[in-house]
Structure 1
Amino acid sequence: MINKSSPIPIYHQLEAYLKEQIENSSLHADEMIPSEREFAERFQISRMTVRQAINNLVSDGYLYRQKGRGTFVSKQKVEQALEGLTGFTEDMLERGMKPSSRLLSFNTIASGSQVAHQLQVAEKDLVYEIFRVRLADGIPMALETTYIPIALVPGITEDNSNHSLYKYIENQLSLKISEATQEIEAAIARKPEADHLDIAAGAPVLLIMRTACLQDGTPFEFVKSVYRADRYRFIHRLKRDQ
C-alpha cells in the first residue's frame, strides 16, 4: 500500500489510503483510527510522516481529534448539486437523511432596505422573519434566517414555519415556485453562530444568500444561511458551450 520507490510523497500515499478506507466505508463515521505509532510500525515509516498525513486529513475534514482520546473518522459531507431549486427538507430526504428544524424565533417585522430590495417590496412592508437551525439526522447543518412578504404568502404561523415552507407554498397556497439566485462565499463562524451549529468559533462556514421567485418572476423568499463547511459542500457541473 505504501511504495517507498514512488515519486509520490509517502504522506500523500497514506492520505490516499485512508481516504479510500473512509469513502468505501471500511472506516466508519466516529470510528477511531489506529495511532501514529501503529501506522508507523505497520508501514515502516516515520511517525512524523504519519502525523503529516493525519494533520492534512483533519484539515480537509476527513478526520477529527478528541483530546485525550484519539483521532476519529468524520461524518462525510452532504453534497448538493447547484442545478435545481429545492428546499432544505427536500435535499435531505433525497439523500436518505431525516430533516428537522429548531425554531429560534418567529417574528413579523417591517422590512429593512436589504430585505425590501431583495423581495421587491417597499421598505417597512411587513415580512415574516423566521430564524431556524436546520438539522439532518439530528446534526446541525445550517443556521438560516428567512424573510417572506406577508402580503404575497399569508398564513405562515410559528407552527408551520418549522416545516417545509416550499411544500406549504406550493400545496396549500397553490403557488408555483420557479427559480432562484444564490450567492455563496467563505467565512469563519462567529461565536453565536458557532454555538447554534455545534462548532468552534472561527471554524470555516459557507455564507449563502438566496432570493427565490414564483413562476411570474415575483420574489417570495430571501434567505441568509450559514452552513457548516465541515458537513456541506456544493457541486456545480459546468458544460462548455458548443
Structure 2
Amino acid sequence: MIQKDSPIPIYYQLQEQLKEMIENEELDPGTPLPSEREMAEKYEISRMTVRQAVTNLVNEGLLTRSKGRGTFVAEEKIEQTLMKLTSFSEDMRARGIEPGSKLISFEEVQADANTAKHLSIPPDTYVFQISRLRFGDGEPMALEVSYLVKDRLPEDTVNHLENSLYDYIEQQLGLAIDRARQTIEPSFATSREAELLTIDEGSPVLLLERTTFLSDNTVIEYVKSVYRGDRYKFIADMKRQR
C-alpha cells in the first residue's frame, strides 16, 4: 500500500514495491506492466508520480519500454565475455538462443578517412558497406554496419549474409580469423535505431566498434554496432598485476 502521510516520496514507495515484486518473481520477465492510468487509479496517485517510478526502474534496467506495445519487466540480460573473440551468432547459440539476421542494405562505397584507417587502406578505396539487424529468438538485439575491403572478398558476398559472417569468412573462404580490437561506450538510441530495435528513441544503447584481423595480420572487417542496453551487458575478468 502507498502511505501518503509518509515522509518517503510516493513515487519512491511505488518504485520499491514494483522492484520487490520483480525481485521476488511475482512479476516474471516479459510480463507487461499495467498502464499508467491503471496504476494511478489502483494506488489513487497521479499518473505523473507513476511515470516517475516507472522511468526510474527503466533506467535501472528492471523495466523496458517497447514502442507501441507498453512497458514490460526486463528480460535477463545476455552476457558477453570480453575475453574471447566470438561472432553474434556464436554468442546467441552458446546461450540456447536462435540467432537471426535481416539484411538492411549492401552497398559499394568509398571508404572515408576513419573507415580507411581502421581497414588499413587508402581513403576512397571501395569497400562493401553491410547493414544488418541482428535477432535473438526473433527479437531485435543489435544493429550492425560492417565495412569489408571489396578486393578481399568475392562479388557474391551479399548472398551469404543471412547467417554468421565469421562462419562465411572461415568456413567458405578458408580464412583464419585471429584477433580483434574492440571499444565499447554508452549512448542513446537515435530515432532510426529505436525504430529498428523496437525501443524508445533516447533509450540507453551500447556502441561497439571492432576491427578484426586475420592470422596474417590483414584486417578483414571494421564493424560499428548498436546493442540494446536493456538486453546486453559485457563481462570482463580482470587480474591484478603484481
Same fold, TM-score > 0.5, yes or no = yes
Pairwise CA distance, 1:21: 2.8
Q: Is the 8 A contact 2:143 2:225 kept in 1?
A: yes
Q: Write the deviation string for residues 154-188 of structure 1: whole angstroms up to 9, x where unpaired.
A: 34432212221100111111111111111111111
- DSSP-derived class of the 2:152 partner: coil
C-alpha distance in 1, partners of 2:21/2:79?
20
* Structure 1 residue identity aligned to 2:239: K
* Structure 2 residue identity aligned to 1:147: Y
- Would the alpha carbon gap of residues 83 and 19 (structure 1) be closer, same or farther in structure 2, given more than 3 Å must change? farther
1:80-95 mapped onto 2 (5 Å cutoff): 80-95=80-95
- Would the alpha carbon gap of residues 156 and 18 (structure 1) be closer, same or farther in structure 2, given more than 3 Å must change? farther
Pairwise CA distance, 1:190: 1.1
Quote the residue 1:214 is aligned against.
Answer: 214
Pairwise CA distance, 1:70: 8.5
How many residues of Structure 1 are paired with residues of Structure 2 in the alignment?
223
Quote the residue 1:43 is aligned against.
Answer: none
Q: Is the 8 A contact 2:15 2:56 kept in 1?
A: no
Pairwise CA distance, 1:54: 5.8
1:56-75 mapped onto 2 (5 Å cutoff): 56-64=56-64, 72-75=72-75
1:17-166 mapped onto 2 (5 Å cutoff): 17-22=20-25, 27-32=27-32, 56-64=56-64, 72-166=72-166
C-alpha distance in 2, partners of 1:71/1:106?
34
- Would the alpha carbon gap of residues 66 and 124 (structure 1) be closer, same or farther in structure 2, given more than 3 Å must change? closer
Unaligned runs of 5+ in 1: 1-8, 41-49
C-alpha distance in 2, partners of 1:181/1:134?
21
- Would the alpha carbon gap of residues 207 and 66 (structure 1) be closer, same or farther in structure 2, given more than 3 Å must change? closer
- Percent sequence identity is 43
Pairwise CA distance, 1:36: 6.6
Pairwise CA distance, 1:189: 1.0
Q: Is the 8 A contact 1:11 1:52 kept in 2?
A: no
- Would the alpha carbon gap of residues 234 and 66 (structure 1) be closer, same or farther in structure 2, given more than 3 Å must change? closer
* Structure 1 residue identity aligned to 2:96: G
Q: Is the 8 A contact 2:134 2:143 kept in 1?
A: yes
Quote the residue 2:190 is aligned against.
Answer: 190
C-alpha distance in 2, partners of 1:212/1:235?
20
